[in-house]
Each structure stands twice: as C-alpha cells, then as structure tokens.
Amino acid sequence: MKKIGIIVIMAGIIFFAGKTFGFRSHKLVKANDNKLVYVPVNEPAGTKYAKGAKIYKAKCVPCHQLTGMGVPGAFPPLKGSDYLKKNKKSALSHVLNGSSEAVTVNGVSYSISMPPQVDNYPDAVAVVNYILNAWGNNYGTVTLEDAKSIKIVR
C-alpha cells in the first residue's frame, strides 16, 4: 500500500513540474480582438505582442517564414536584421504600403518587391512591434503616432 502512495505522489510531482516548467511548446492567449491564438511558450514576444503575432502568422510567414529567417536570395530575414533595427519607421511603411525599392539586409541586397500587407495603423503598429521583439530581436517599439505620420497610398 505504501508503495502505491509513493508512486502516486511521484506522478503528481512530475505532473506539476511539467506544468510549471513547460513541457508544452504552445499556449493559448487572447489577442486584442478577443480571439484566441496559439503562440510559442518559449517566445516572450508571442505573448506580449499577441495581436502582432497573429497578423504575422496570417500575412508574413509565406515570405519571411515562421522563424523570421526569410528565404535566402529572395525574402530578407527579420530576425537579426540590421536594416529593421535602424529603420523602424520604414518597417511601418513596408507593411502599410509595400516596397519596391531594393533593400540591403545584413550585407545582402533584396530586389523583389513586397506587396502591402495591412490597411490600418493599429494593425501596422501591432505587427511591427511583434517583429521588433520576436526571435530574440530587441529593437524597441513604434507608436501609433509613428504610424500616422505615414500616408497610406493604395
């Protein structure tokens, strides 16, 4: 009888340690629009910028990839991008208006053009703040005022 008790206690400890230290890779969080989204647990930006993470997954992943690494020679990386670090406002204009100018990211030039992705300022701010802080990027944030200084041209 004693043995069973010990086994039950051990199983309990393992179960709660698992919950606490996160054997799960994703968790459900509420985005600003109250919809539930799955974000990686080990990526703090995914929880803090849930709305941006959701927009990123819906719009940017085909080109810049889930990892933010892009596709060599075609789509530039956002993770560790020296261009993004220096041009936060340009990131806003990229998502609002697209870009047909070549950009140089970490020494490599990308000349395919990027189509516009979002049609309003709050979404632009959300997704840009996400990429500024995802994948270990620590590039600060942009504000709604920054976004509003860019004219949406369609």
**Residue ranges in contact with ligand HEC by CB under 6 A:** 55, 59-60, 62-64, 75-78, 81, 83-84, 91, 94-95, 99, 101, 103, 105, 110, 112-115, 117, 127, 131
Task: Please identify, using beta-carbon distances, which residue of 11 and 61 lies nearer to ligand HEC.
Answer: 61
Least distance between ligand HEC and beta carbon 97 (Å): 11
CA angle 9, 13, 17 (to 5 degrees): 170
Amino acid at 62: P
Task: Please identify, using beta-carbon distances, which residue of 5 and 73 lies nearer to ligand HEC.
Answer: 73
Half-sphere exposure of 106 (CA within 13 A, CB side): 11
Judge whether 122 and 52 are in contact, CB under 8 Å. Answer: no
Least distance between ligand HEC and beta carbon 69 (Å): 10
Least distance between ligand HEC and beta carbon 29 (Å): 19
Judge whether 129 and 141 are in contact, CB under 8 Å. Answer: yes
